[in-house]
Structure 1
Amino acid sequence: MKDNIVKIMKRHDILEMVYLAKDGNITKRRVKVIKANHDTFQAYCFTKQAKRTFYFDNILAAVPVIRKEREDVI
């Protein structure tokens, strides 16, 4: 999973993911990855409209957003 997210970051693509939060809630997020570390990555979250830190291990599913869909969101 980490390798795919790093590739998405290098291409400056937006990532859509299903994420398991610390409190156990499952959320669907659209993010733009800013930087990746060993266990975490920082991204701008379009859902929260803020920069957030995410754990790679908490990602349940992730796909890059197709550019056409991306234009509709931004």
Structure 2
Amino acid sequence: MNGLLKRSLESGEILEMIYLSNKNQLSQRKIKVVDISSNTFRAYCFTRRQPRIFRISNVLSIGPERKKFWEGAAC
């Protein structure tokens, strides 16, 4: 996961993440990584439309943004 976060930080790639908050609430978010530390990372959250700090240990799933199959398709 750290490699994916670093790659996103360097390239500006948008990631999709499933996150478990400290209050045990699940959320699915699109993020852009801004900074990484040992236990947390800062990212712009497109869901909340603001910068957020996330605990790496609370990330349940993370990967590149999935494109819908019809995006870019000729009609």
**TM superposition score normalised by structure 1:** 0.84
CA distance in structure 2 between the aligned counterparts of 1:37 and 1:3, rounded to whole angstroms: 13
**Residues paired across the two proteins, number:** 69
Matches within 5 A, 1:23-38: 23-38=23-38
Matches within 5 A, 1:1-74: 1-66=1-66
Q: Tell me how large the CA RMSD over aligned residues is.
A: 1.5
**Aligned-partner SS, 1:47:** coil
Identity in percent? 33
Deviations 1:9-58 (A, max 9, x none): 11110010000101000100001100101110000101101100001111
Q: C-alpha displacement at 1:3, in angstroms? A: 1.9
Gaps of 5+ in 1: none
Richer in helix (by share): 1
